[in-house]
Chain A
Amino acid sequence: MIPSAPHFLAYAVHRLTNDIAPALPDEYLAQSTGMMGGMMAVATQQADCAVDDMVWDITQLHELLTQATVILEHAQTDQPDFNSLRLSSLIPQYHRLAIQLVEVHALVEEMTSAQARALNARIWDYLTTSAQRRRIDIFD
């Protein structure tokens, strides 16, 4: 059996934080090593859900921006492209859509129609849910 990447990372985190860092005589190096262990623990957690989060965010953003085209004349959105699920492909898509959302959100906040208020509420629902999905709880 080949150890999986998460299995190895969990081992490395444990060794770094519990064995190697405490054994280092230099206080600064010991604390730096402990922090690197903490970062590896976060990376392990993030790596498992990164693609899932990105696909969810891109899908949600696309839906919101499509809804915005109903009330904002110049609003537009790109179709999601999930032909590749590499993060290097998904992250630029997410950034483009998030920038569009920032622009749309600023306009919607200034509008008073019921449609605009409803869209504003949906945007906040997305933003709070997205923030919770990306939560790093290792240090809580």
Chain B
Amino acid sequence: MASVDPQLAERLTHYLTHKFPHWQNLSATITARIHGGASRETYRAKLTYQENGRPVERGIILRRDPVGSLIETDRAIEFHAYRTFYGTTVPVPEPIALELDLQWMDRPFFIMGEIPNASAGSPFGPVPYGDQCDKVGAQFWSILGAIAATGCDVGRLAELSPLPAEPWRDALDYWEGVINADALEPYPVLRAAIRRLRRNPPPPPIRPGVVHGDYRRGNFLFDDQGDIKAILDWEMCHLGDPYEDLGWALDPIWGQMQRERPGGMMDRDAGLALWSKASGISIDTKALAWWELFAQVKGMAIWISSGKEFVEGKNQDPVLAISSWICIDRHTRLMADRLSTCSGVPQ
């Protein structure tokens, strides 16, 4: 098969030959650039080499930092998240290599194993699970519960992203800072949401733990049997309140604005019960309402940043423009509805 990017394939071959000298006669072919999240340039590649005299052929995924990004993140955190969970009940691709030295590909990158015969499905198109919505949903919520149950003893990952004293304040300060830096126009509904969140902070986490940071439909791979094969896109992973992931995953934006079937999967209450069982953390509806509104503020920050990147020409991937356009509209409507009727978040 011809490489879609021969120069990149040559550099990848050069790097892997250096990194893994026991992979002999190595050859890399870039088979596709993948459209999935603009926070990294993502490529699918095929490797052939000999190991201990035996021929090996395997697929890998190369994730390289772009020049401009949808989300400013540290690729080391994403790589160590894969390391933390690889081989556990939380399915993730095999982490292979993290490289911060710019000599190899101009920008930092990491490499992980390809998950064959599985797809992610679009977060915004028609629900991709067919009659397996409940089966996929049950795994989706149980795996998120397992991530929450991991706690804070996660080695290098905890060193890279230590638990803040007040996770809610840390998270809100960060994303409000992104909005202040990147907003090219005023957002009255968003500003009202931020004021509402600050006036009514949530209680401390029932049990702090690992927060994936972008756990939603479209960020996991599933096969045609409806089995989830891997949780992806850990670039915003950190320690904090597991309700943060819950609020994000419940957001109606991932399920064509349907609140009762988050992500177009199973019934909301049934999903929350599975999460609670797997995590060992009870559901505090008032605290969860805070994190659900926070998720919409965080989403707005991401869409505002992506729009700015596109407008300023730092990254002209159309996914940045379309996500900014569509998602700012949807999140503004969701926040306006929620705030104008209170919806569980105190005034």
Contact = CB atoms under 8 A, between A and B. Distances in A.
A42 interface: yes
Interface string B305-347: 0000000000001110110011001001100110110000001
B186 interface: yes
Nearest to B33: A28
Interface residues of A, number: 29
Contacts of B191: 102, 105-106
A39 B192 contact: no
A128 B340 contact: yes
A98 interface: yes
Given A124-B339, A136-B329, A27 B185 contact: no
A38 B322 contact: yes
B143 to A, nearest CB: 27
A102 B319 CA distance: 30
Nearest to B329: A136
Contacts of B286: none
A73 interface: no
Contact of A106 (B124, B195, B322): B195
Given A98-B188, A105-B188, A136-B325, A124 B340 contact: yes
B53 to A, nearest CB: 35
Contacts of A39: 318, 321-322, 325
A131 B186 contact: no
What is the interface of chain B mostly: helix, strand, loop, or mixed?
helix
Contacts, number: 79
A95 interface: yes
Interface stretch (A6-14, A29-37, A76-84): A29-37
Contacts of B181: none
A140 B257 contact: yes
B256 interface: yes
A35 B195 contact: no
A95 B35 contact: no
A32 B329 CA distance: 21
B189 interface: yes
Contact of B186 (A102, A125, A132): A102
A135 B256 contact: no
Contacts of A35: 318-319, 321-322
A109 interface: yes
A136 B321 CA distance: 14
Contacts of A127: 188-189, 192, 336, 340
Given A38-B322, A95-B185, 14 more contacts: A26-B4, A27-B34, A28-B32, A42-B322, A98-B186, A101-B188, A109-B192, A109-B347, A124-B339, A128-B336, A135-B329, A139-B124, A139-B125, A140-B256
Interface of A: 26-28, 31-32, 35-36, 38-39, 42, 95, 98-99, 101-102, 105-106, 109, 124-125, 127-128, 131-132, 134-136, 139-140
Q: Which 4 A-B pairs have the closest CB atoms?
A: A28-B33, A98-B186, A35-B318, A31-B35
